[in-house]
A = this chain, B = another copy of it.
Amino acid sequence: MAFRSLNQFLKIRDVILNTKRAYFNKVWGMDLHPTSVFSLSARFDTTYPRGVHVGEYSYVAFGAAILTHDMTRGVYLHTRIGKNCFIGARSTILAGVEIGDESIVATGAVVTKNVPPRCIVAGNPAQIIRENIEVGRYGRFANAEATKQRLIAEGAFD
């Protein structure tokens, strides 16, 4: 696909994202930071929407779910994603969990307890697999953008 049409597609996606974020925040009372980005297939728990918190420059990937209630215990809890986090595709964050700033939740992880800042957690149940990581916005490693641009220059997408 040509990059021009891809970029137009991305612009349309941004409009949809901003509309959906505003809808979640204003109509449902969630707390999704204006700089946060999420896949349109991500699920935020609407049973207790005010318990959903996503910090600045955090990313919620496709199919991820952020839960804020547990029917078996009758509890409604605040679930907090910090700043600069990456919440991987198809992961599930259980009600009441806090994800520290600059942490990464791996694809498919089921997170049952708090995650300290600057960690990678993976698995079901999720375990810490790496500590003291250094990531920037959207939980990306320092060289991520350079790697991507190099691959584009090398023709990976031509």
Residues in chain A within 8 A of chain B (CB atoms): 1, 28, 48, 59, 61, 63, 65, 67, 71-76, 86, 89-90, 92, 94, 104, 106-110, 112, 122-125, 135, 138-141, 143-148, 151, 156-157
Contact = CB atoms under 8 A, between A and B. Distances in A.
A92 B90 contact: yes
B141 A73 contact: yes
A148 B107 contact: no
B94 A107 contact: yes
A137 to B, nearest CB: 11
Given A48-B157, A74-B140, 8 more contacts: A59-B71, A73-B147, A89-B92, A92-B107, A92-B108, A106-B112, A108-B110, A112-B122
Contacts of A28: 1
Contacts of A148: 74-76
B74 A146 contact: yes
A140 B71 contact: yes
A151 B47 CA distance: 13
